[in-house]
Homo-oligomer: A and B are copies of this chain.
Amino acid sequence: MNINDLDTPSIVVDLEKLDANILRLQHYLDEHGIVNRPHIKTHKIPEIAHMQIRAGAVGITCQKIGEAEVMARAGIQDIFIPYNILGPAKLERLMHLARRCNISVTADSEITVTGLSAAARQAQIELPVLVEFESGSQRCGVRSPQEAADLATTIAHAPGLRFGGLMTYPSSDQTDPFVKATRDLLSPQGLAIETVSGGGTPRMWEAHTHPEVTEHRAGTYVYGDRAMIHLGAMQLEQVAFSVLTTVVSRPTPDRGILDGGSKTFSSDTFGLEDFGLILEYPEARLYNFSEEHGFVDFSACDRRPEIGERITVLPNHCCVVSNLFNEVVGVRNGEVEVTWPVALRGLMQ
């Protein structure tokens, strides 16, 4: 099937660009001796995870137990879940997973560590736990090297657990000094930091400027989006991800309405003005959404689309868009080569 025969809205992934994006980051990280552990949040598709591993990734990063379960069933052997796993239901599933493949997790509190330790001891496994620390993003994570060292020591002494290192998101100027200070606190105890896991696509090409970071987790780089272009992390020609839409209404000479809204693109602006770049009309502004319609101002364009015309949108934030679709269509040279279910989508727990 040709791309022009796809009905809309459809997510189209350019397979050549996808391959190139996977290889580009892998080569860069290889060159600098940094372990690559891509985050599958962007694609949520086992086959793409396998492509990343075949290219040289050591394993993958998931955010939910349910995501890791699907990836394990698809044959992925090394999965990092940088999340505080709490509660008996999730802990039991985590232990089942840890028997079948290499699983590691994070903690930023003693409460999390206590739960992990009890579950791992009962399951008679040794679970690697990394300490999550904050590098300025004010997300999760301990906030001082002393807290990090204390929690690392707690993990190291907890039955069933192994201290696996440090983790933060995203890597920033605060990352390396924090790691150094933590190492200084842990060295006297003979506790080594085997892995320091950093991440992020926006500043992925600066990964080599963080000598303390041994592993990089990037997600968005596989597809790319308008935000990554805006931030200078990717070029327009490198973006592999677009949404094919149709103009369904032209109520005024300036206004056009697309067959995708907030349930197609999400309402995520990612801090940018407007909601996406329209490839055929780069001067147009995708200025608003209702749930099933996208509103475009074509007033700055020389020509205007007809009703029924197909329009290609590069969304601001591809991760939340792929998460809204049941499937994505892989295209090579304009021909559909594969349709991938977004297998991990909606696995909330």
Spell out A's residues near B (CB within 8 Å): 7-10, 41, 63-64, 83-84, 86-87, 89-90, 108-109, 111-112, 115, 134, 138-143, 246, 248-252, 255, 257, 259-260, 262-264, 266-269, 290-293, 295, 306-308, 319-320, 323-326, 345-349
User: Given A109-B307, A139-B257, are A248 and B86 neighbors across the interface (CB < 8 Å)?
Assistant: yes
Q: Is the CB of A326 within 8 A of B307?
A: no
Q: Is the CB of A248 within 8 A of B320?
A: no
**This chain: copies in complex:** 2
Query: How far apart are the CA atoms of A9 and B307 in the complex, in Å?
Result: 41
What are 26 inter-chain pairs, A to B, with CB distance below 8 A? A7-B89, A7-B90, A9-B348, A41-B263, A41-B292, A63-B291, A63-B292, A84-B248, A86-B259, A86-B307, A87-B246, A108-B251, A109-B307, A111-B306, A111-B307, A138-B251, A138-B255, A139-B293, A139-B295, A141-B251, A142-B251, A143-B251, A143-B252, A263-B320, A263-B323, A324-B346
- Interchain nearest-CB distance for A230 vs B (Å): 17
Q: Which residues of B contact A290 (CB under 8 A)?
A: 139
Q: Is the CB of B307 within 8 A of A249?
A: no
Q: Is the CB of A326 within 8 A of B308?
A: no
Q: Is the CB of B308 within 8 A of A291?
A: no
Q: Is the CB of A307 within 8 A of B112?
A: yes
Q: Is the CB of A64 within 8 A of B140?
A: no
Q: Is the CB of B140 within 8 A of A291?
A: no
Which residue of chain B is the closest to A110 with respect to CB atoms?
B307
- Interchain nearest-CB distance for A88 vs B (Å): 9
Q: Is the CB of B325 within 8 A of A251?
A: no
Which residue of chain B is the closest to A261 with respect to CB atoms?
B63
